Amino acid sequence: MLTDSEAYSGFAVKDVEQARRFYAETLGLGVADVEDEAMRGYLMRLQIKGSRDVLVYAKPDHVPATFTILNFPVPDIDSAVDELVGRGVTMLRYDGFDQDERGIAAAGPRIAWFTDPSGNILSVAQA
């Protein structure tokens, strides 16, 4: 039934304009308005390389998930973390994970987590 459907993903944020600034300016991702002019300010699209756009929508009573919603594979996690921190991003620390002083977990794939302004959890992971 859904075999030929071109599915897409989405997630909620408290404030679309705040999210637009974070994803575009802090993370350097492409962002685009949706085609429906009446929905501007409530919806936007994240343009992710090699993927379909991700829909980001406003939900004023948004409660962030307790899991990672977006993972960004990077060729050099050390440089990626340094650049993110330099742009004002704070890496998360989790009990039970062996993380270095910069927040990079070394058990398994090297990965570091951070949040967007709405508290959604994102990661950079060594590709």
Residue 99, C-beta contacts closer than 8 angstroms, at least 6 positions apart? 93, 105, 106, 112
- The pLDDT value given to residue 101: 94
pLDDT more than 90, % of the chain = 76
CA distance 72 to 75: 10
- Could you report the per-residue pLDDT of 44-81, keeping only the tens digit for each? 999 999 878 999 999 999 999 999 999 999 999 999 99
Q: What are phi and psi of 74, to 5 degrees?
A: -135, 150
CB 80 within 8 A of CB 28: no
Q: Which residues of the chain have pLDDT under 70?
A: none
pTM: predicted TM-score of the whole model, two decimal places: 0.92
